[in-house]
Amino acid sequence: MIIQRYEDSRKEEVCDVVLDVLLEHGFEYDRFKDADLEDLNNYYFTSGGTFFIGVAEDKVVGTAGVRKCTENLCEIRRIYLKEDFRGKGNGKKLFRTALDFAGKNCSGVMLKTDPTLKKAIDIYLKNGFTFMKEKNGQIYFEKKF
């Protein structure tokens, strides 16, 4: 898998990956939580963030977004990977690419996840994130650079 910067020509593939992974974990599309999928450029790039895609055999197989919240704080979002590409370091590669971007562009980063996603939580903790709070069924983590 190679990591590339998102381009609009890949929007449908990105949405398919995200929605497939959500469904796999028992989550459904939510028009409010998933509104970023409607306009990835505006949501991520306009604020100074970015969105990466993992590509294998010319197909999108993974995603990773970084949204700038303020001048010095950003949020990592949309770390998703198709099932066939898990367990091979690809998810870590996507996550670390997003984390590297965040570290170069902000002094702190946050993320949130569902408490049932234990592997994701383990990766966050191993990469220096600390627990912030639990709110509305989500766990929030932060990391300072």
- Mean pLDDT for 57-70 is 97
What's residue 125's pLDDT? 94
pLDDT tens per residue across span 20-44:
999 999 999 999 989 999 999 999 9
Q: Where are the domains of the chain?
A: 2-109
The tally of CA atoms less than 13 A away on the side-chain side of residue 44 is 25
97 falls in which pLDDT band (50, 70, 90)?
very high
DSSP for 63-97 reads EEEEEESSSSEEEEEEEEE-GGGTTTTHHHHHHHH
pTM: 0.94
What's the DSSP call for residue 39? Answer: -
State what percent of residues in the chain have pLDDT above 90.
Answer: 93
The number of angstroms, rounded, from the C-alpha of 49 to the middle of its chain's C-alpha atoms is 12
| Average pLDDT of the residues of the chain | 95
CATH code that applies to domain 2-109 = 3.40.630.30
119 falls in which pLDDT band (50, 70, 90)?
confident
